[in-house]
Structure 1
Amino acid sequence: MKKILITGAAGFLGSHLCDRFLKEGYQVIGMDNLITGDLKNLEHLFKNEHFEFYHHDVSTFVHVPGRLDYILHFASPASPIDYLKIPIQTLKVGSLGTHNLLGLARAKGARILIASTSEVYGDPLVHPQTEEYYGNVNTIGPRGVYDEAKRFQESITMAYHRYHGLETRIVRIFNTYGPRMRLNDGRVIPAFMGQALRGEDLTIFGDGSQTRSFCYVDDQVEGIYRLLLSDYVLPVNIGNPNEITIKDFAEEIIKLTGTDQKLTYRPLPQNDPLQRQPDISKAREILGWEPKVDRAEGMKKTFEYFRTLTSEELNKKEHKDFEKYSR
């Protein structure tokens, strides 16, 4: 039985990856410091004899006893609200945390896949974004703590590959959605869903003409799984190229939820990307992957998940102790 370590395991994507690798017959070690993750995402796995969980911050050190075949590094705040509240922790998990995990992979002779992001492209001047595009990033802007953490993450990963011969993979993740997203994390889909279910008007930042491309979580997990087991070492975009404006998407949410909310407008945050669409030619060619779940089907499944939340969960504000993680 292959053994895999998944960091950020209690998060949205991390928990779905734990499910997938257990289904594939792996022994899974989940690791998370729970600053943005939630054990509720993993509680269905605690009785599984092939799953164990470590409550740990990878930015300090990482020790896993015994053999280890694979590592998936998904530990990082991933929403603007989170990484603006804990900017130093965001930088540390992308730098120190990645360094620690690359060292662990080298010590164990394990293959490691690093979760990068479309944010390495910044506010792109090339559309759609190919893996060869170097990006347009404000290194000292408020979003730079996330963008640059991920760009450094890619650089140190390739350095370990080239200098130490470490088996590495890099996935550039575009907007992903599905069950287990946090309602109050500031990302588009949970924000719109939460507002609709609470009977609030939907808030659009800017004029709503900015675009996003949304990939359902099952498709994203499939792409990550194929990339890990492939022989390709350079970054690969995994996302859905079906692009939509934020305004049109908000209107889709109102139609889906059967509510009659209006749209309200607020200023666009600094350096918020105006366009986001992946070129997935490499994923198609190298991995034989492309998304299968269309947005209407995926959004219906996501809405059904959010509808199961209690009134308390719908109105919950974040109370996590961010301060101790930002030293």
Structure 2
Amino acid sequence: MQKITIEGNAAVTKRRLALSLPRRTTVRRYLLFFALIAPAFILRFITAAYPIAQTVLYSFTNYNLLKGTNEFIGFENYSALTTDFGVRGALSFTIVYVLASTFIELAVGMMIALLLNANFRGRAFARTINLIPWAIPTIVAGYAFRWFLDDQFGLLTNWINAITGKHMLAFIDPTGAKLSVILVHVWKDAPFMAIIFLAGMQGVPEDLYEAAKIDGASAWQRFWSITIPLVKPLVITMTLFRIVWSLSGFDLVYGLTSGGPGVATSVLALQVFREGILYFKFGFASAISVVLLLFVALVGIIALRLYRRADVAY
């Protein structure tokens, strides 16, 4: 009887050891996992999470480096955003600027990609020179077009004046200035969109186009029924990237018009630079940054849902 009891206890002990070994292995794997990701997590926290959290905290204060104030004022900065003339003008133009430039870039980039995807002599050279505008630094392109469109010394304005007898005032008229910023932005970044779309088009099987030709489909029908559906996830992804990049950048606007005339071509990112770096109103600039962050987050959520729908559909 005692022997049976001892053997039973030994069996129970073996079972417990057998159960504890996988648990220990799992714990060790989790510890190893956290140890491996800890450096990347700490780096991202220092460079991303902490600055964002600090900006949100500053947005609730009257932090001003010149006045030496740093007191909690609640939502006063956000309330001031609704009445500030510069912020309101920057917000309205930011929406127009981002949406117009992004969708024009998509259309122009798609047309350029279609041309570069065709078979013709010198195609490699055409693909190379296509990237020249995108390779130019944005601030350099802004200052270059500022001289190119200058009402007194600009090359384009002199050409227009010589041909039509009319004097173009691109940067004095608010509408002309807004149009100039949007078109220069398209000239600068549409080639990059074209290269991305070209890479997507080259992944489309030629058999689909051949089968469509045999069925009597026109070039437009082949483009709309084959090319667009297969590159749709890529289009959604690039639209997200272009909107986010356009929202966060102000170097082109700063180099081309400096936000003028007045605040007609000012964008939210430029207002953050002005209020924070030039006027040292860090609390107010942080509030603008938080609003800009919410815009980016909203665009990301919408684009992610569209991308998942497109991914599921295909």
What TM-score do you get using the length of structure 2 for normalisation? Answer: 0.22
More strand by share: 1
Relative contact order, CA 8 A, sep 6+: which one is greater? 2
- The structure with the larger Rg is 2
What TM-score do you get using the length of structure 1 for normalisation? Answer: 0.21
